[in-house]
Chains A and B, each alone.
Chain A
Amino acid sequence: MTDIDNQKITAKELWVSVSPHIRSKISIPIIMWSVVIALLPSLIGSIYFFGFKALFIILLSVISAVGFEAFAHFLWKRRITVFDGSAVITGMLLAYNLPPNVPLWIPVIGSAFAIVFVKQVFGGLGYNFVNPALAGRAFLMASWPQIMTSNWLAPSSGFLAGYDAITQATPLTLAKVYRTTEVFQHLNSWPVIKNLILGNCGGCLGETSAVLLLIGAIYLLIRGFISYRIPLAYIGSVFVLSLVLPTRLSPFFHMFSGGLMLGALFMATDYVTSPINKKGQWIFGIGCGVITMLIRLWGGYPEGVSYSILLMNVATPLIDRYTKPKVFGERKK
């Protein structure tokens, strides 16, 4: 061996793997944190409408979701991946689904159920068969219906609102309980619709402002992290059904009231629990829309978004099985 040979760089140790040898930069944390960013406008909105208590509830929910996730990872000796942002999303979405004036232990219990029993028991990220946040909400609804269906606050514009809490029913509750022509007329009027779009109405923490939710969803659409299919099918079918079915409310009221925007844009589009095939996504969205309208019109609850998504979550494997796309080159029958 001469000196020159020693200096020459050689390939001593090469990695061998199957192609492809390059990978895109998009990773799970990038996608998840982008969803968190997309949820931020609504977070600011909820503080604006319901005061700083909204922030406490959301923070509490997020911190407990992340905490329970870390605990579960530790307990089941899994790789600790709490920083991938998925637990943060679950915490935020759960809080967005709570009435503004709930007692502070509610988000903690809800997060615990969502993370431990819905997500981690089934194997963690990617293995839950229903949306954890929605399952957490359904659990709270079933266990403490009184707390979950009262505790509404009237939105008082301004960041210091909420200290002199005024209770106010949500527009959908009004429509369910007071079935008079005057109420329907009032709800169909432009000022009410305008307030629904802006978020200046009673409702769960993060669901009231359609416009803020849309801003977040458009960000995700542009980045290519969600597809337009499920939201369009969902909101579209609600719109069409409210024209066809004997509801005395306008399609616009149905579109912008309740949790439809939050559900259609952020919860029905959850990757893990929605169909993977394009055709299946249309079916999923339309199914959600139909069930939502059935519950709103004839169900016992004023609002049906969360249950419709949960039901369609369960149907997802079946939808996927029957909507397998045709292979490139397969003859059309």
Chain B
Amino acid sequence: MSNLLRRKRQTYGFKGGVHPPDNKSLSAYKQIEKAPIPKRVWRPYIQHTGIRTQPVVKIGDYVKVGTQIGEAQGYVSVPTHASISGKVVNIAEIDHPVLPTRTLTCVIESDGQDIWEDSIKERDYKNFSKQELLNIIRDSGIVGLGGGAFPTYVKLSPAKEKPIDTIIINGCECEPYLTADHQLMLERAAEIVEGIKIVDKIIAPQKIIIAIEDNKPDAILIMQEAIYQEKKYSVVKVKTQYPHGAEKQLIKSILNRIVPVGGLPFDVGVIVQNVGTIYSIYEACRYNKPLVERLVTVTGSAIKEPRTLWVRLGTPVYDLIDFCGGYTEEPGKIIFGGPMMGVAQYNDELPTIKGTSGIIAIKKDDLKIDPEGPCIRCGRCVDTCPMNLVPCELNNLIHKKDFNRAKQYNLLDCIECGCCAYECPSKIKLVHSFIFAKRELKLLETK
């Protein structure tokens, strides 16, 4: 009973959500390994939410690891860096793993040496001012590594009239299959805490909360030990429930604050940062190391030896899968990100980018879905929608091409978490319909 009461005081939870089988055991508790340095990398000039970067290298240029190859344009943009040393062999419009169009991409061929920029070395960062730290985070090209890929320095520069009192460090990792953040917390807890201290210095909030789902009790313990001396920091255990890692849901769950429609966490005095991002911030500040590698969970039923890898950004998927023993059988789907919100790829020759938290290859047998049936109005989608929408009604309106009514039914507030489509007994492709309608609405508005 006392246990129950304490839990209740700790988190408030949020409405809706689902509990898909998490399949995390495939790759969990495997030591993080470094993926081999690829022969060739593809570095798209847009890997973040915001404005595309401008190339600053030419075909034929020699680059080292950490050489800036793309310059930030405008406020919501961060630079791109070379992730291997070698020669720029091409700069052309090439397929992008996440965006629906071809984008300008820099192709670098390795010289096999792995020479790093001279400026990348350990230094004393403790005396840097707030602004210096922010500049480092911007110039290192750091974006939210949870999947959203929003430039981190923008997130860490709240407007003056919106004071921040709480920072939430997101270690929920609510997507099934993914184990990268979990493994990072187990192996690099001390470094994460150093990273949190940097963020603490920049924002100076009243408290910092590390949120971890209760299916990772070992990570909770390790993080609790790591922050033992810091009174301002705390670890909060949240219920395992997808999508607990979504910003608005996490804020509601931990602080019982509701981010207004169309608003940002700033509006309720909160900043949410992923643990992986925090680790990159630490590396950037301490070693002056730009974002050239990240943790990627390579897993799924079609992968021989699933594991979590340090991957040089731009490494093509087939290299990583080869390193993980190859396919057990022909995969039916390759997904970038988690299975609930990730993007299915049409081949395995696409590069990993800053927002790639996982690569999941699933057997064809595991993907069999019954044909779409009629909506029986069971209301399971309404119950699971964390945004409190009425997905089935929205879908009906979209099928009638009544996009404006769909907008009145708050279509634009859909976060595309996939709970409704996951839960639908008729296997209706709800998220598909919503993404389509959002695009149609955008077209209508630009006309």
Q: Residues of A at under 8 Å CB distance from B?
A: 8-24, 26-28, 30-31, 79, 81, 123-127, 225, 227, 271-272, 274, 276-278, 320, 324-331
Q: How far is the CB of A65 from chain B (nearest CB, A)?
A: 17
B7 interface contact, C-beta 8 A: no
| Contact pick for A20, options B263, B426, B431, CB 8 Å | B431
Beta-carbon contact of A10 and B422 below 8 Å: no
B435 / chain A contacts, CB cutoff of 8 Å: 18
Q: How far is the CB of B440 from chain A (nearest CB, A)?
A: 15
Q: Secondary structure of the A side of the interface?
A: loop
| Contact pick for B248, options A14, A274, A329, CB 8 Å | A329
Beta-carbon contact of A22 and B339 below 8 Å: yes
Beta-carbon nearest neighbor of A326 in chain B: B388
| Contact pick for B20, options A9, A22, A326, CB 8 Å | A22
Residues 381-416 of B contacting A (Cβ, < 8 Å): 382, 386-390, 392-393, 409-410, 413, 416
Q: How far is the CB of A69 from chain B (nearest CB, A)?
A: 14
> A30–B424 Cα gap in the complex (Å)?
12
Beta-carbon contact of A18 and B429 below 8 Å: yes
Q: How far is the CB of B65 from chain A (nearest CB, A)?
A: 29
Beta-carbon contact of B390 and A11 below 8 Å: no
Beyond known contacts A9-B330, A21-B333, A22-B20: 12 more, CB 8 A cutoff = A13-B330, A16-B346, A18-B432, A22-B21, A23-B421, A24-B20, A27-B370, A27-B426, A27-B427, A125-B373, A272-B376, A276-B379
Beta-carbon nearest neighbor of A86 in chain B: B376
> A19–B338 Cα gap in the complex (Å)?
9
| Contact pick for B344, options A21, A123, A277, CB 8 Å | A21
B342 interface contact, C-beta 8 A: yes
Beta-carbon contact of A15 and B332 below 8 Å: yes
The answer to whether residues A16 and B422 also contact, given A10-B327, A271-B378 and a CB cut-off of 8 A, is no
The answer to whether residues A12 and B377 also contact, given A17-B432, A21-B362, A28-B425 and a CB cut-off of 8 A, is no
B424 / chain A contacts, CB cutoff of 8 Å: 23
Q: How far is the CB of B21 from chain A (nearest CB, A)?
A: 8
Beta-carbon contact of B340 and A327 below 8 Å: no
Beta-carbon nearest neighbor of A18 in chain B: B432
Residues 335-355 of B contacting A (Cβ, < 8 Å): 335, 339-348
> A236–B67 Cα gap in the complex (Å)?
72
Q: Residues of B at under 8 Å CB distance from A?
A: 15, 18, 20-21, 176, 248, 252, 258-263, 326-335, 339-348, 360-362, 364, 367, 369-371, 373-380, 382, 386-390, 392-393, 409-410, 413, 416, 418, 421-427, 429, 431-432, 435
Beta-carbon nearest neighbor of B337 in chain A: A19
A14 / chain B contacts, CB cutoff of 8 Å: 331-334, 344-348
B410 / chain A contacts, CB cutoff of 8 Å: 327
Beta-carbon nearest neighbor of B384 in chain A: A24
Beta-carbon contact of B375 and A126 below 8 Å: yes
Q: How far is the CB of A91 from chain B (nearest CB, A)?
A: 17
Beta-carbon contact of B340 and A22 below 8 Å: yes
Beta-carbon contact of A23 and B369 below 8 Å: yes
The answer to whether residues A20 and B378 also contact, given A8-B326, A12-B330 and a CB cut-off of 8 A, is no
Beta-carbon contact of A9 and B329 below 8 Å: yes
B335 / chain A contacts, CB cutoff of 8 Å: 19, 21
Q: How far is the CB of B432 from chain A (nearest CB, A)?
A: 4
A11 / chain B contacts, CB cutoff of 8 Å: 327, 330-331, 334, 347-348, 361
Beta-carbon contact of A328 and B15 below 8 Å: yes
Q: How far is the CB of A313 from chain B (nearest CB, A)?
A: 12
| Contact pick for A28, options B343, B379, B416, B426, CB 8 Å | B426
> A274–B376 Cα gap in the complex (Å)?
10
Beta-carbon contact of A328 and B248 below 8 Å: yes
> A272–B261 Cα gap in the complex (Å)?
31
The answer to whether residues A325 and B341 also contact, given A11-B347, A15-B367, A271-B377 and a CB cut-off of 8 A, is no
Beta-carbon contact of A19 and B342 below 8 Å: yes
| Contact pick for A23, options B382, B388, B427, CB 8 Å | B427
